[in-house]
Amino acid sequence: MQKHSAAEQSVPIASPTMTSRVSAPGRGRGRFTRGVAMLLLAATLGGCGSFNPFKKDDVAPDEPADRLYNEGLYLLNEKKDSREAAKKFEEVDRQHPYSEWARKSLIMSAYAYYSSGEYDDCVASAQRYITLHPGSPDAAYAQFLIGASYFDEIPDITRDQARTEKALNALQEVIRKYPTSEYANNAKQKIEVATDQLAGKEMQIGRYYLRKKEYTGAINRFKVVVTKYQTTREVEEALERLTEAYMALGITSEAQTAAAVLGHNFPDSEWYHHAYALVKTGGVEPSENKGSWISKAFANFKKSIMG
């Protein structure tokens, strides 16, 4: 803080405005003058450290984009501080928007957020990258990060599977839009896990209905597995459970079809042995009805594989 001499501190008091307001002579005038002097002195001293209406606010100058970017890399790789690294990368975009450094920093911020487990921020950054740079070589990676973020948050099978659905959709976009990218194989592996999870959820609910003898509700759940998730490990049990439910309802032809399709596609499965024994208790053999929705579902699936 700059020091002022007694003469400098008294300058405001001697201004024409102030002297015109002081008109009564004598002792009262002296007290008034001294009081005003103390108030102005306090205001002047306080202004040295805080408020100064004649001075513009200090604004931090922009840092070079490459310096900010490299600081982000240092925090990410050397300090293992993904969260702070993401902030550095975002600062590049803030200070140098629409630059090549901003483009690189945006995808790096998405990765840094993913590394720190801040999945919502990762998804937001990656989606923004795809919106701004859809034709960039890194767009495939941004899409993969979205799917991976949702995938890492897949909950226990007993809970709502909305995140699993989002993971599946985002990862399928990687395959659809970027089939030759280096992330396609990893996306396919994650898709298999996510699909198994969704099929498992349907099976869990179907078993519950079956135990409650709510056979129509159970059939509807097992039907989802058979029609949508035929590549999962759950499909064998789903066909056996369909055999159980249809036999319980007395719809023997559908039970026979479920058992026959199960035996045709998974002849060594333990679930087929259960289904076979079950239809035998009704005095019939497994027999496929080509008009059944079960038979049609598998026929359509084979056609889709063969192209």
Give 304's pLDDT tier (boundaries 50, 70, 90): confident
pLDDT at 38 > cutoff 50: no
Output the average pLDDT for the chain: 84
Q: What is the mean pLDDT of residues 31-53?
A: 39
Task: Report the amino acid identity of residue 25.
Answer: P
Q: 75 or 9: whose pLDDT is higher?
A: 75
- Residue pair 302/267 in contact by the 8 Å Cβ criterion: no
What pLDDT does residue 61 have? 57
> How far from each other are the two terminal CA atoms of the chain, in whole angstroms?
81
Tell me the average pLDDT across 226-254: 97
Check residue 306 and give its pLDDT: 67
Mean pLDDT of 86-113: 95
pLDDT band, residue 301 (cuts 50/70/90): confident
Q: Residue 10 — very low, low, confident or very high, per pLDDT cuts 50/70/90?
A: very low
- Determine the Cα–Cα distance for residues 48 and 215; give it in Å rounded to an integer: 82
Report whether pLDDT(96) > 80. yes
Which position has the higher pLDDT, 214 or 44?
214
Q: What is the CATH number of domain 65-195?
A: 1.25.40.10
| Region of poorest pLDDT, from 2-16, 123-137, 211-225 | 2-16
Per-residue confidence (pLDDT) for residue 279, from 0 to 100: 97
What is the percentage of the chain residues whose pLDDT exceeds 70?
79
**pLDDT given for residue 305 in this prediction:** 72
Q: Which tens digits make up the pLDDT trace of 221-235? A: 999 999 999 999 999
Three-class DSSP labels, the chain:
CCCCCHHHHCCHHHCHHHHHHCCCCCHHHHHHHHHHHHHHHHHHHHHHHCCCCCCCCCCCCCCCHHHHHHHHHHHHHCCCCHHHHHHHHHHHHHHCCCCHHHHHHHHHHHHHHHHCCCHHHHHHHHHHHHHHCCCCCCHHHHHHHHHHHHHHCCCCCCCCCHHHHHHHHHHHHHHHHCCCCCCHHHHHHHHHHHHHHHHHHHHHHHHHHHHCCCHHHHHHHHHHHHHHCCCCCCHHHHHHHHHHHHHHHCCHHHHHHHHHHHHHHCCCCHHHHHHHHHHHHCCCCCCCCCCCHHHHHHHHHHHHHHC
Residue 196 has pLDDT above 90, yes or no: yes
From-to residues of CATH 1.25.40.10 in the chain = 65-195
Say what the pLDDT of residue 60 is. 52
* pTM of the shown model: 0.76
Confidence of residue 72 (pLDDT cuts 50, 70, 90): very high
